[in-house]
Amino acid sequence: MKLDLLAIAAHPDDAELTCGGTLIKMAHRGYAVGILDLTGGEMGTRGSVEMRRKEAAAAARILGVAHRENLGLPDAHLEMQMEYKLAIARRIRALRPRTVILPYWEGRHPDHYTASRLGYEGCFLAGLKRLELEGEAYRPFKVLYSTTYDRSVRPSFVVDISREFSRRTKAILAYSSQFRPKGRERRRSKVYLPLDRLVHEVHLVARFYGEMIGVEHAEPFLVKEVMQAEDVVELPVRSI
């Protein structure tokens, strides 16, 4: 399989919450889009690994992605180990994505910023021809960082997801164990995000970035390199 776009996320539901609208938009444009979840989220307060995998599969269908898989690395124990880097490098060689979306390299959750570093170094290692690893050497052309979880970061660009927003919300809510727990699961949970609050916060963040470019909803991304423009007359987003 050769992907055009691959989102690498620490946990199931991270991709939906950070770049789900962009994944929907790119899939709708005909690109081959995929998600690589690094862990099963087994350390989460709610839901079993099996349940979360079923939810991830349902969310993938809503997003319209062509491929989704889980590496099964240990949740809450992601570390900068060569074993983990190589596991990602193998999948990069197999999936051959042109563009990769990674979590932002700073944040509150250790798994998120560690997944960012693991993802970057896995992409780099995948391109080393002399590395003894299955598959033909391959390195993605572009690496993007999703900054949704950190609104203090000024993004390099944002993607208008106004048309995709409703569908992205449905994909997020496919994780009912996390956002709509019932019965005993809900009563014993000390970390419960009410559905109305979740919807409010999802709307709020997307609206925040949408305001930056004068649209309803948007998702933010950061790149480390300078962005190139060919036509300065037709640049989008009004200045004054």
- Evaluate whether 191 touches 52 at the Cβ level (below 8 Å): no
Distances (CA, A) of 192 to 33, 116, 161, 180: 31, 26, 27, 9
Which residues contact residue 216 at a Cβ distance below 8 angstroms, ignoring those fewer than 6 apart? 162, 165, 206, 207, 210
In this prediction, residue 48 carries a pLDDT of 77
> E strands along the chain, which residues?
5-9, 33-39, 67-73, 99-103, 142-146, 157-160, 218-222
The HSE-up count of residue 69 (CA atoms within 13 Å, CB side) is 11
In this prediction, residue 119 carries a pLDDT of 98
- Evaluate whether 1 touches 30 at the Cβ level (below 8 Å): no
Give per-10-residue mean pLDDT for the chain (240 aa).
Answer: 96 94 98 97 72 94 98 93 98 98 92 96 98 96 94 95 96 84 53 61 91 96 96 92
Domain ranges of the chain: 5-222
Query: Each residue of 63-86: pLDDT tens digit?
Result: 999 999 999 999 889 999 999 999
In this prediction, residue 178 carries a pLDDT of 75
For domain 5-222, which CATH number applies: 3.60.15.10, 3.30.200.20, 3.40.50.10320, 3.40.50.2000? Answer: 3.40.50.10320
In this prediction, residue 163 carries a pLDDT of 98
Other C-beta atoms closer than 10 Å to the C-beta of 109 total 15
Query: Each residue of 207-225: pLDDT tens digit?
Result: 999 999 999 999 999 999 9
In this prediction, residue 83 carries a pLDDT of 97
In this prediction, residue 189 carries a pLDDT of 47
In this prediction, residue 65 carries a pLDDT of 98
Terminal-residue alpha carbon distance, the chain: 45
